[in-house]
A and B are shown apart, each in its own frame.
Chain A
Amino acid sequence: MTDSRQSPPTSPTAAPTRRAENILGAEGLSGLRGKTSRRGFFPWLGLAWVSITAGFAMLAGVSLRFLFPNVLFEPPSTFKAGFPSEYEVGAVDERFKSKFGVWIVRDEATLFALSTICTHLGCTPNWLGGEQKFKCPCHGSGFYIDGMNFEGPAPRPLERYKIYVADDGQVVVDKNSKYQWEKGQWDNPESFVSMA
């Protein structure tokens, strides 16, 4: 313990050793003195690590953002569907099924937009006119013309979308709002167009 060669330098600016002289040239550590002390180096090291971490975090964030495109080449979620008078009582209109995923159904009093997404696992049922029901090919769920489920594994009725008549007299379907029977939302006047 008394061996002076084993003890560490008492101050950060301790006298240069022979070895340091060899590496740093003739001036040795004295060439660095006044520029960066041993103690002063650590804040810079810390800053460097923080910067690098922040840089990589930013890259990760930008890469994640890259996965969310600004423009989608999908059909718009709001579309016009002709005039209310075009729809016959008791008919299921399938014109908007493949592009927008919507059936427009007219009953005695109302016109409403049914979602074509099966409430079981999300397949698209078919309208079977002869049997007057929507039948899902995936697992056999069946729905009546008003969207009520009555057979198969579907746990709840088909959802309805917002529907209204625009100023030009045309029916507009807005898929951004949906109305679920089990929540009592089919009574909402936005979920149908009154034909009375």
Chain B
Amino acid sequence: MSRLANVKKSIARSQLWTAFFRHGYPDTDRNRVLVIMSNVLLHLHPVKVRKSGVKMKYTWCAGGLSFFLFLLETITGLLLMFYYRPTIEYAYVDIIDLREQVPLGIMRELHRWGAHAMVIAVWVHMFRVFMTGSYKPPREFNWNVGVILLVLTLLLSFTGYLLPWDQLAIWAITVGSNMARATPFLGHEGPGAALLRVGDVSLVHIGDDVRFALLGGRFVGAGTLLRFYVLHCVAIPLIAGFGMAIHFWRVRKDGGISGPL
């Protein structure tokens, strides 16, 4: 028994162990705080959670589910990237290949259904936060961060929609991106765009407006597929990742998950 205790003690005092764990066992309040505060990932999380904060009945765990689904999308999406090529020539056949030939043909379906589930989870989370009044001060800042994350979630869905490059994808993005034509001042059919002209030359036209920047062309084509791919796989997840870090950290700074009134 004492020999075992000695082994445990020598492990706990070894350089390797102390390099990873900079505090004692979390059996005191101080060490419990240190566990959270000395870890870059855990420190986003509150040290203590209210009893109501861990009740499914109160939170529905909708925010946690949203984050879990984001992680699921990140992992399955990363795996899909090993096979998918975002060009007109290959995009559609690579999707078929992923379904028919690649081991675990369900990977793309996981990504797709996970995406649907994430949109639902984010809305449910928003509904819960609204119904429990958790958007009220001091949490109003975090509500706005959440609104941005909601928009990013929808943009992730929208950009991912095009990637299979089938008829549904092409026409859905054609219809969806037509909305950008009507952007005030920045879209060539939007209000105010007609005012931006020098003499007879229109400064905002179909070849240089905001829709053009989004599509990389005058219509949905090869440039659009590549742009949406980069936005879907790199740009938006990166921004959403930063937003989530702020969102979680802000929950802690605003006093943890709100409690029942």
Name A's B-contacting residues (CB within 8 A): 67-69, 72-74, 101, 121-123, 138
Contact = CB atoms under 8 A, between A and B. Distances in A.
Given A74-B217, A74-B218, A69 B175 contact: no
A123 B177 CA distance: 12
B208 A68 contact: yes
A121 B173 CA distance: 11
Contacts of A74: 217-219, 221
Interface string B172-188: 00110010000000000
Given A73-B222, A122-B174, 13 more contacts: A67-B216, A72-B217, A73-B223, A74-B217, A74-B218, A74-B221, A101-B219, A121-B174, A121-B178, A122-B175, A123-B174, A138-B171, A138-B175
Contacts of A73: 222-223
Contacts of A101: 219
23 contacts: A67-B216, A68-B208, A68-B213, A69-B216, A69-B223, A72-B207, A72-B217, A72-B218, A72-B223, A73-B223, A74-B217, A74-B218, A74-B219, A74-B221, A101-B219, A121-B175, A122-B174, A122-B175, A123-B171, A123-B174, A123-B175, A138-B171, A138-B175
Contacts of B208: 68
Contacts of A122: 174-175, 178
Contacts of A68: 208, 212-213
User: Which range holds the interface residue count of chain B?
Assistant: 10 to 19
A68 B217 CA distance: 9
- Name the residue among B171, B217, B222 with the largest chain A CB count within 10 angstroms: B171
B94 to A, nearest CB: 21
Nearest to A72: B217
Interface in B202-261: 207-208, 212-213, 216-219, 221-223
A138 B218 CA distance: 20
Contacts of B218: 72, 74
Contacts of B221: 74
A122 B208 CA distance: 19
A69 B222 CA distance: 13
Nearest to B208: A68
Contacts of B212: 68
Contacts of B171: 123, 138
A126 to B, nearest CB: 12
Contacts of A138: 171, 175
B230 to A, nearest CB: 11
Contacts of A69: 216, 223
A122 B219 CA distance: 10
Contacts of A123: 171, 174-175
A67 B213 contact: yes
A154 to B, nearest CB: 13
Nearest to B207: A72
A105 to B, nearest CB: 22
B186 to A, nearest CB: 12
Contacts of B223: 69, 72-73
B225 to A, nearest CB: 13
Nearest to B174: A122
Interface in B49-92: none
